[in-house]
Structure 1
Amino acid sequence: MPAGHADATPISVMVVDDSMTFRNYLEEILRDHYQIRACRDGMEAVEAYREARPEICLLDMNMPRMDGLEVIRHVRRVLGDQDLFILVLTSDDTSEQKSEALHLGANDYLVKPFDALELLARVRVAERQVRLTRSLREANTAMSREIEEIARLQRRLLPASSPRHPGIKIQSLYLPSDQASGDYFDYFFLPDGNFRVVMADVSGHGAKAAFIMSMVRTMIRFSGNFESLGGLFELINEQLRLYVGEEGDFVTLFVADIRADFSSMVYVNAGHAPGMLLRRGDSPLMLRPAMPALGVMPCRAQTADVPLEAGSVLFLFTDGCYEWEVAPGEVLGLERFWDRAASFVGRSDHVLDDIFRDLGCAGTPDIRDDVSVLRVQLGLIKS
């Protein structure tokens, strides 16, 4: 093996040629450097490939039963392997055959007769490519494991059950589109006895979005000493602008503090999808954003205070709930989602797990964004 490679695992090479003399010649050149498997024709090569998955293939073009072009086509298009390094060996020096072989997926081309040193040099180029591919695959596997761990920890940060309070019943739904999500929801009691409900959506997906989400969660969770909800939003906005604003990342955030006696609720909506408040005898109230998403620009938070009553339902969601296709090229959209959701989320027997069915979808749709939903019921409400 050439010096300088950290990966000492031998490279497997498949030699395919209908001439025994030529196969022996190739094996003689390569046996001291690589693991060799010889095949007499294309059919035998395909079977050997299925069994051993070689990393480099030295492939003759003109063979009985299955020629070299058919082997390339089968490996690339039928078996879907784009990693196997295919070095074509042929006595036909026509540009047509060379062009076709490269078009089908060959990596290199060498015309017989050739010098043994040239062949070995070409194979070593292939070896470098194979080892690079191995390294990339290992790095991708390690990264996937890290993302899985992040996603596992992230799910543990989300509340798992309704709070132990006779006047509060909460249902939640969380469907990440990828392993690590940019969505975040939360609910907990504040030191003053008020009850906080949170729904947020971080731009993007993956580890970066999950990290930003954890920043926001920490600031919200440990903000009990803030005199106002608006002050908390301004702090989060300042911190996001300081640490991630230049990266173009932002957070939409809805936070509502429900007073301990359920008489009213103060909330701030920063660029988030409008919350829905249902009170008996009233039309659904749309809790619209009154300030831009956080992390974008300096701005003052605007709070709003709305009265509540026993039986009120607060319904919060992220944009993944309505940004899915009901038909090819046709997205459900916020307006239709709102109208349909308003007809069923107020029912005391509604189950969030059935939300897509209730929205008119036969099953779970092809979701391309994270989906998070909260239904907060204050006391009982009759259907």
Structure 2
Amino acid sequence: MSAKPQPAPAPQKLILIVDDTPANIGAISGALRDSYKTKVATDGEKALALASAEDKPDLILLDVMMPEMDGYEVCSRLKADPATREIPVIFLTSQTSADDETYGFEVGAVDYVHKPFSPAVVKARVHSHILLREARAQLAEQLLALNNELEMARQIQLSILPHTLPKLSRLDIAARFLPMTSVAGDFYDFIRVDDEHLGILIADVSGHGLPSALIASMLQVALTAQAAYASEPAKVLSGLNSALCGKFTQNFVTAAYVYVDLEKNVMRYAGAGHPPMLQYR
């Protein structure tokens, strides 16, 4: 009996250590060696080059006091570059004043480790911010997926609404569609019988997003099947109810239907839980 293949271990995260003091580099590298890959830069220019390389670090430990380019300037440049702005930066510093720390956060640092530092504290801070970055990345992916779903739902919703309005010789028709959110369950459509007779349906699917848009598309199909009863509003709504009832459990549909008879100058109306239509004279 063969053993089940073991999943490949997750690749180690890469930490960039930026410090001009060999003793600090050695202490930090030693603390992180078992859990992370590390790269070292001893000045700001080299740090920027390594941060922008193809193999970008997952986190940067950055000394504040360095010759030529201090840590604040390095951090500012990292955050100004779209390619590196998402890399978390932890400052290593012996400066403990509130003003120094405030300025560090203003230029983009996520945390401070004060010198002389404990290797265990450095490792714990690195671990915490690596987890936070992974959580932010996961949330960003979920948000992107949600936005893609909403865009799909919006396209579905727009596709099922009438692209042109019926043209009747003695009736002017105008429609304006303004959903409360980018994607909702609002729907309207027409059953054009002839130049003297027209059925108008206005409906609303409860909820928002892709489920509501898909139910609205079902409503469009169901309305087409009611064309034979266009002159009988109650039958149209009853037919819609029969077609949709039991198809979904988390949503419901309200609707109003009016039949315009220009030949007799009358309108017939039926409602199903929808706010009444207004007739303006």
CA distance in structure 2 between the aligned counterparts of 1:81 and 1:265, rounded to whole angstroms: 68
Identify if the C-alpha distance between structure 1 residues 49 and 208 changes in structure 2 by more than 3 Å, giving closer, same or farther.
farther
CA contact (8 A) 1:268 1:303 kept: no
Q: 1:125-165 CA deviation, whole Å, 9 max, x = no partner?
A: 11211221222122223223322332343333234467799
Shift of 1:186: 2.3
What residue in structure 1 maps to residue 122 of structure 2?
Answer: 119
Q: 1:96-129 CA deviation, whole Å, 9 max, x = no partner?
A: 3223223443222111222322221211111211
Q: Considering Cα pairs closer than 8 Å and 6+ residues apart, tell me whether 1 or 2 has the greater RCO.
A: 1
Matched, 1:72 2:75: yes
1:266 alignment partner, SS class = strand
Identify if the C-alpha distance between structure 1 residues 202 and 146 changes in structure 2 by more than 3 Å, giving closer, same or farther.
same
CA distance in structure 1 between the aligned counterparts of 2:225 and 2:12, rounded to whole angstroms: 54
Matched, 1:55 2:51: no
2:93 alignment partner, one of 62, 75, 90: 90
Shift of 1:87: 1.4
What residue in structure 1 maps to residue 132 of structure 2?
Answer: 129
CA RMSD in angstroms comes to 4.9
Aligned runs of 1:1-383 on 2, under 5 Å? 8=10, 10-52=12-54, 53-76=56-79, 79=82, 83-160=86-163, 180-181=183-184, 183-189=186-192, 194-198=197-201, 206-207=209-210, 210=213, 213-214=216-217, 217=220, 228-229=232-233, 256-259=258-261, 264=265, 266=267, 294=274, 301=276
CA distance in structure 2 between the aligned counterparts of 1:131 and 1:267, rounded to whole angstroms: 60
Identify if the C-alpha distance between structure 1 residues 75 and 256 changes in structure 2 by more than 3 Å, giving closer, same or farther.
farther
Identify if the C-alpha distance between structure 1 residues 135 and 305 changes in structure 2 by more than 3 Å, giving closer, same or farther.
closer
User: If the length of structure 2 is used for normalisation, what is the TM-score?
Assistant: 0.65
Q: Which amino acid aligns with 1:54?
A: P
CA distance in structure 2 between the aligned counterparts of 1:218 and 1:7, rounded to whole angstroms: 51
CA contact (8 A) 2:230 2:259 kept: no
Shift of 1:58: 0.8
Q: Which amino acid aligns with 1:27?
A: S
Identify if the C-alpha distance between structure 1 residues 189 and 18 changes in structure 2 by more than 3 Å, giving closer, same or farther.
same
CA distance in structure 2 between the aligned counterparts of 1:199 and 1:165, rounded to whole angstroms: 19
What residue in structure 2 maps to residue 338 of structure 1?
Answer: none
CA contact (8 A) 2:60 2:89 kept: yes
CA distance in structure 2 between the aligned counterparts of 1:37 and 1:164, rounded to whole angstroms: 72
What residue in structure 1 maps to residue 4 of structure 2?
Answer: none
CA contact (8 A) 2:200 2:259 kept: yes
What residue in structure 2 maps to residue 356 of structure 1?
Answer: none
Q: Which amino acid aligns with 2:32?
A: L
CA contact (8 A) 2:64 2:91 kept: yes
CA distance in structure 2 between the aligned counterparts of 1:267 and 1:32, rounded to whole angstroms: 79
The runs of 5 or more residues in structure 1 that have no matched partner are 1-5, 271-292, 307-383
Q: Which amino acid aligns with 1:94?
A: S
User: If the length of structure 1 is used for normalisation, what is the TM-score?
Assistant: 0.50
Q: Which amino acid aligns with 1:157?
A: I
Identify if the C-alpha distance between structure 1 residues 169 and 37 changes in structure 2 by more than 3 Å, giving closer, same or farther.
farther
CA contact (8 A) 2:205 2:251 kept: no
